[in-house]
Amino acid sequence: MTTTELTGNAGLLDAVLAGARKEGRAALIGYLPAGFPTVEGGVRACTALLEGGCDAVEVGLPHSDPVLDGPVIQTADDVALRGGVRIADVVATVGRAHAATGKPALCMTYWNPVDRYGPERFAGELGAVGGAGCILPDLPVEESADWRAAAQRHGLSTVFVVAPSSTDERLATITAAGSGFVYAASLMGVTGTRESVGREAQELVRRTRAVTDLPVCVGLGVSNAQQAAEVASFADGVIVGSAFVKRLLSHGNDPAAGLADVRTLAGELAAAVRTPR
C-alpha cells in the first residue's frame, strides 16, 4: 500500500508532512494523553498544542501498563484512568482537536485495548471523527494484516515504530507495512526527556530512509528547542510528548497556566524545527 492510495484524513497527514518537506523543514508532532488532566482539559490541551505551532498531534489512549512510557506519561495516564477516561473519550478528543484546528490528529495506543474493543469498530469510530491514523508501538507487523485492512477502509494511516536495534531486514519489513510516517525511536528505552538525543537517532533515520520513501519522524527524548533543532536537521519530523505532559503536570491546580505553558512550548519548538538546515 502506498501513501497515494490513502483516503480520508490519512491523506491530510500525508499533505502536512509533504508540505513541511517542501518548506525545507521538519514537521512538529506533539503528544498528549486523552483524559489528562480531565477529558475536557485534555481536549483543550491538545487543541492548544496544535494552535501553538504543532503540525499534528498524537492523542494517547491511557493504559494501565504502559511498558514503553516513562514516569511522566505514566503519571498522566494514571490521572486519566482514575478520572474514568474511556475509549469513546479518546476518540472524541481526536475528533475535537482536529475539528478545532483542521490539523491531523492520530491515536497512539497499545494493541490490547484495540483488540478488546474490536479493531473494525475502533477504526470505524476513529475514522468517523476525522482521525488521521493510529500509532501501534507493540503490534507485530506479522499480526497486523486485519488491522491494516480495517484502517485502510476507514481512511487511517498505520504508523509502526522502529528502533536502533532493528536490523536492516526488519526495517524493510516494518516500513513496507506502514503508512503515514515511520516513528523512529531515538534510543532504546522508554519515553522521557533526555540530556541528549544522541547520534543513534541520526543513524537510524539514515538506515530507515534507505528502505522506504515514508517520512521518518523521531521521538523519545526531545524536550527543548535546541534538541528539536538538532533532530530537525536530519529527520522529517520531530515528536515531543513528555515535555508537554511535564508542563501540564507542573501547574497542578492551575489548568489555565498549564494550557498557556503548553502553547508557549509548542511555539518554541515550532520555531526550532524551522531552523535552516
Active site residues: 58, 69
Grid coordinates of 256 = 489555565
Grid coordinates of 92 = 472524541
What values do phi and psi take at 29, rounded to 5?
-120, 120
The helix (run of H) or strand (run of E) holding residue 211 is none
Grid coordinates of 276 = 535552516
DSSP percent split of the chain into helix, strand, coil, nearest 5: 50, 15, 35
Q: Among 28, 30, 35, 117, which Cα is nearest to 75's? A: 35
Task: Supply the DSSP symbol for 189.
Answer: S
Q: What is the DSSP string of 221-277?
A: S--SHHHHHHHHTT-SEEEE-HHHHHHHHHTTT-HHHHHHHHHHHHHHHHHHHTS--
**3 state SS of 23:** coil
